[in-house]
Amino acid sequence: MSRPLVETSSGDAPFVFSADGHKSLYFTLDQLQSRMCSAHPNQLEVDYTRTMMGFLLFNRRPASIAMIGLGGGSLLKFCYRHLPTARLTMIEINPQVIALRHEFEVPDDPQRIELLCADGADFVRDAAANNSAGYDVLLVDGFDSAGLAPSLCSQRFYNDCYQALSPQGVMVANLHHDDPQHALFTARIRLAFDGNVLEVASQEKSNSILFARKGKPISMEEIRQSNPLKNFDPEVRTQLQREFARISWEATQIA
């Protein structure tokens, strides 16, 4: 069920650039936030989004997914299309980003999508305190023109993420690989999840994706032997098969 959009003070003004059959979302021209192919609006165009879908290696049919950071809605649209039984909650602090959702063909389906204009850290803190069932997947991708929002990389935030998850839930965090505080942020995630973390650099190496699991330990053997895409349609396998093979290979190097 949708809640009313609430104005916030978060003020980066996004803009859309269209060229060569694609629409791209920017805050500044040197920082791409999202990209959509106009002919295939549900396709994952940016490499790190395909890496973040690696949560399917741990849970092929999540019932509830919360996402922090709308951007152009790539992950939301993909999950909406290909995980039809999942309940989706999207949290975006910037009302100007939300205002562009129709530009990027984000579905308007209050039966399955709850879109909130709110601070992701506040949302997770409240969920940790009040949501006894928890989310099966929590995707954290909250960037603005200055980079990763400070409230989304504190020790308190990651602790709250752990508490907001279901007993076997997975948090997936997108970090900038070259951020001077990258090691600090990953250490905080490891502390919150008792070291049950797998880090995978995106294919273009600019993003670092951390999978942190609550409950059952992450097993490299499980990842290598997993075939989570076998029951999905060819569209999903075409987009994700190669990336999932790369994640499995990365896990092999770590083990």
- DSSP for 45-89, written as a single string: -SHHHHHHGGGGGT-SS-SEEEEE--TT-HHHHHHHHH-TT-EEE
Catalytic residue among 141, 144, 160, 179: 141
What is d(CA 225, CA 179) in angstroms, rounded to the nearest whole number? Answer: 33
What is d(CA 254, CA 252) in angstroms, rounded to the nearest whole number? Answer: 5
Residue with tokens 């999202």: 34
What is d(CA 113, CA 65) in angstroms, rounded to the nearest whole number? Answer: 10
181 C-beta neighbours (distance < 10 Å), count:
15
Is 126 catalytic? The answer is no
Q: What is the helix (H) or strand (E) element at residue 35, kind and residue range?
A: strand 31-37
Nearest alpha carbon to residue 139 among 248, 230, 56, 23: 56
Active centre residues (catalytic): 141
